[in-house]
Chains A and B, each alone.
Chain A
């Protein structure tokens, strides 16, 4: 009897070993996805599968997240040590849920909007192509971003959820992960240059095995951006720029190391707070802003105020700036999609070339004569 048990045990053990030998894990990466600006993610290609690593999903992230991207056929042949990875995703992805409108342009540019099956807050979506999916009912509403409707999501059972977080403590995402749906954190917003943010299209490219296409789309955007920047550097005058607006007693404006400030620099303008540093936005006193920017030539992005009247209503101090008197205020808040979502917040990350061209057109009207303002409109 003992012998039989021993034989049975060894058979079981041997068969386990056989299973393990199916693993084609190869420690040597054959190729690394070429990234020029983005620092928040890496993709290593191991021929039969890829490893996607999210290095910086939120500011000061302590650990990186690793995901296996593998085709269905290879997945059947391979086993992975689950504890080593934060998720195993079969690609190309057939069903995806994203959680920020900034994730949408990449899907549209790559031509994979048909795989998008759910989104929290569909009324924010401005992309026409994706709106028709909402109207047809092929894109499920998932409720609010902070508390995604987990039941609907589980029913959708997407191949992956593209999340984002300000830190790693999102209970909803934990629940989703625990139910077996991988959540990948997108850290495009942490990148510190406009082109780095735009390069995250390659992240989506890897999910859909469309690396080449993503690369060529990004190259075009990059070239456009660099060309526009070169053109702007030729301009002789450097108009002074004020940004933001007052809420209660505090004036919020982008700090000198932000992407907004980088746009202003690349557009060859003189942003009055270009020398400031720090994370987040500057929170200044009215007096400080007024003495410095009273005679600024241009006022960009006066927060979410949509008219001169609204700006005046919020505070009469706003009207004391030359830019208000001369009506040289430009906002992105009035360029909205069908349902009122601000286009800049959806498309701005993906198309820095358009943002830069807009600012150049505003600051140096003699350049870029053919360019029509896309995101920015004069405040009326």
Chain B
């Protein structure tokens, strides 16, 4: 109880910052829309220009919500992986989750030639890409889980995850080699990541799966804290390691899998947000870390998206590049300043 009291102020500040970032994100875009019209559009009354209403309600608002889900979800799955493997380099992508998703998407886009004309055009729709990405990450995860039942060592699982990533990357290379220019283009575009391409329906499904992942992570808080003490110690405290591991991996896969499916592979956030949070909050208690990572992830993603949109210019940058360009120096700066890693 006393712990949460200490952190009350930072949490209030973070929530306020998140709200401000959310409003700024919706207000800023390629097209200049006065704040008054933004609010008018949000409450459903008419705007000065007809097109603005569609931009606010169906482009910027879902994009901002997607940014929050993507940032917080990736941050949390990064935190779960780092604690589970007790490795500061772990992230949602390390277990091969993102590679699995990439493989699924590559099979659908680049391998469509193998299926033939009509069949292929039916399959290369947005939903097929979402399903393929989820299936891909799920299957890779299933393979890792099967191995993890036999192998007790988490480091071994980490390496097996990396090996799976290598295998999938190799298959993607082979598929790319045989893919046509258009297919390669489509696959590369997917790789840029995209927040602004979800309709409300898609966003709803995304949010439902996302909530499942969050619930599973909240359930794992206790075991995560115990795991920090080391696996053997955790066992001696009566923790069912296999079950906890399964829940944590399932939560990560749900979060990172759907995010990659809907928004493409977004780099850096999953790895760095937990580190930024630990540096700022200086704690390893997951009761604090989990909500803090959620807020930090959402805020950073909203800021990255606002930058990627290059406000008031007609141009836009791929979100995947911005997250790393903006984010990595922040982590370096934090580490240099504190001179040690909180882990």
Query: Do the two shown chains form a genuine complex with each other?
Result: yes
Residues of A within 8 A of B (CB): 144, 246-250, 282-288, 290-291, 294, 304, 306-307, 310, 313-317, 320, 340
B166 interface hit (Cβ, 8 Å): no
Given contacts A248-B193, A310-B125, contact A287 B264 (CB under 8 A): no
With beta carbons under 8 angstroms apart, the residue of A285, A304, A306, A315 that contacts B316 is A285
Is there contact, CB below 8 Å, between A313 and B314? no
- B29 and A287: CB pair below 8 A? yes
Closest to B320 in A: A248
Query: How many contacts between A and B, using CB within 8 angstroms?
Result: 86
Distance (whole angstroms) from the CB of A310 to the closest CB of chain B: 7
Tell me which residues across on chain B come within 8 A of A313, comparing CB atoms.
125-127
Shortest distance between the CB of A44 and any CB in chain B (Å): 36
Q: Is the CB of A290 within 8 A of B51?
A: yes
Q: Once the chains bind, are B55 and A290 in contact (CB under 8 Å)?
A: yes
User: Is the CB–CB distance between A250 and B316 below 8 Å?
Assistant: yes
- Nearest-neighbour CB distance to chain B for A263, whole angstroms, equals 21
Q: B336 at interface (Cβ–Cβ under 8 A)? A: no
* CB pair A288 B197 closer than 8 Å: no
CB pair A285 B314 closer than 8 Å = yes
Given contacts A285-B315, A290-B54, A317-B59, contact A248 B192 (CB under 8 A): yes
User: What residue of chain B has the Cβ atom nearest to residue A276's Cβ?
Assistant: B314
Among A282, A284, A294, A313, the most chain B Cβ lie within 10 Å of the Cβ of: A313
Are B316 and A283 neighbours in the complex by a CB distance under 8 Å?
A: yes
Q: Which of B51, B264, B310 is the most central at the interface, judged by chain A CB atoms within 10 Å of its CB?
A: B51
Bin the interface of chain B by size: 35 or more
- Interface with A: B183-191, B214-222, B276-284, which one? B183-191
Tell me how far the C-beta of B259 lies from the nearest C-beta in chain A, rounded to whole angstroms.
Answer: 15
Contact A248/B314 with A285-B309, A287-B30, A316-B199 known, Cβ cut-off 8 Å: no
Top 9 nearest A-B pairs (CB, nearest first) are A248-B194, A288-B314, A285-B30, A313-B125, A285-B316, A247-B189, A287-B30, A316-B199, A288-B30
Q: Which of B41-64 contact A (CB under 8 A)?
A: 49-52, 54-55, 58-60
The answer to whether B264 touches A248, judged by C-beta atoms less than 8 angstroms apart, is yes
Q: A287-B59, A291-B55, A313-B127 are in contact. Are A248 and B29 (CB under 8 A)?
A: no
Query: Does B195 belong to the interface (CB within 8 Å)?
Result: yes
User: With A283-B316, A310-B125 as given contacts, are A340 and B194 in contact (CB-CB < 8 Å)?
Assistant: no
In angstroms, Cα B83 to Cα A232, docked, is 69
Contacts of A291 in B (CB 8 A): 31, 49, 51-52, 55
B340: min CB distance to chain A, Å:
38
Report A125 CB to chain B, min CB distance, Å: 14
**12 pairs across A/B with beta carbons < 8 Å?**
A248-B189, A248-B194, A249-B316, A283-B315, A285-B309, A286-B59, A287-B59, A288-B31, A290-B59, A291-B55, A294-B50, A317-B59
The residues of B that contact A282 with a CB separation of less than 8 Å are 314
Q: Inside 8 A of A306's CB, which chain B residues have their CB? A: 121
- By secondary structure, the A interface counts as mixed
Q: Complex Cα distance A90/B233, Å?
A: 82
Interface string of B192-212 (1 = CB under 8 A from A): 111111010000000000000
Chain B residues within an 8 Å CB radius of A304: 182
Q: Within the assembled complex, what's the spacing in Å between the Cα atoms of A358 and B315? A: 31
Whether B88 sits at the interface, judged by CB under 8 Å, is no
In angstroms, how far is the closest chain B Cβ from the Cβ of A369?
A: 33
A246 and B190 CA atoms in complex are apart in Å by: 12
A144 to B179, CA, bound (A): 10
* Contact residues in B for A283 (Cβ distance below 8 Å): 315-316
Cβ of B238 under 8 Å from chain A: no
Fill in one digit per residue for B282-293: 1 if any A CB lies within 8 Å of its CB, else 0: 000000000000
Known contacts A286-B59, A287-B31; 17 additional CB pairs below 8 A are A247-B189, A248-B190, A248-B264, A248-B318, A249-B192, A250-B189, A250-B192, A285-B30, A285-B309, A285-B314, A285-B315, A285-B316, A288-B31, A290-B51, A290-B54, A291-B49, A294-B50
Tell me how far the C-beta of B185 lies from the nearest C-beta in chain A, rounded to whole angstroms.
7
A291 to B48, CA, bound (A): 12
**Which B residues are CB-close (under 8 A) to A340?**
117
Contact A248 B55 (CB under 8 A): no
- Minimum Cβ distance to chain B for residue A281 (Å): 12
Contact with A285, one of B29, B58, B126, B193 (Cβ below 8 angstroms): B29
Q: With a 10 A CB-CB cut-off, give which of A283, A291, A307, A317 has the most chain B CB atoms.
A: A291
Instruction: For the complex, give the distance between the alpha carbons of A154 and B50 in Å.
Output: 63
B319 within 8 A of A: yes
A311-B189 Cα distance, complex, nearest whole Å: 15
Closest-CB distance, A120 to chain B (whole angstroms)? 13
Candidate in A248, A315, A317 with the most chain B CB atoms within 10 angstroms: A248
Chain B residues with CB below 8 A from A294, complex form: 50-51
Least CB distance, B320 to chain A, in whole angstroms: 9
CA distance A290 to B56 in the complex (A): 12
Residues of B within 8 A of A249 (CB): 192, 194-197, 316, 318-319
Instruction: Give CA–CA (A291, B313) in the complex, Å.
Output: 13
| Cα distance, A313 to B186, chains bound together (Å) | 14
Identity of the chain A residue whose Cβ is nearest the Cβ of B181 in the assembled complex: A145
Please measure, in the bound complex, the distance between the C-alpha atom of A144 and the C-alpha atom of B180, giving whole angstroms. 10
A310 to B129, CA, bound (A): 13
Q: Which residues of B contact A287 (CB under 8 A)?
A: 29-31, 55, 59-60
Contacts of A290 in B (CB 8 A): 31, 51, 54-55, 59
In the complex, what residues of A have CB within 8 A of residue B186's CB?
247
Which residues on the A side are within 8 Å of B185 (C-beta)? 247
- What is the CA–CA distance of A310 and B194 in the complex, to the nearest angstrom? 18
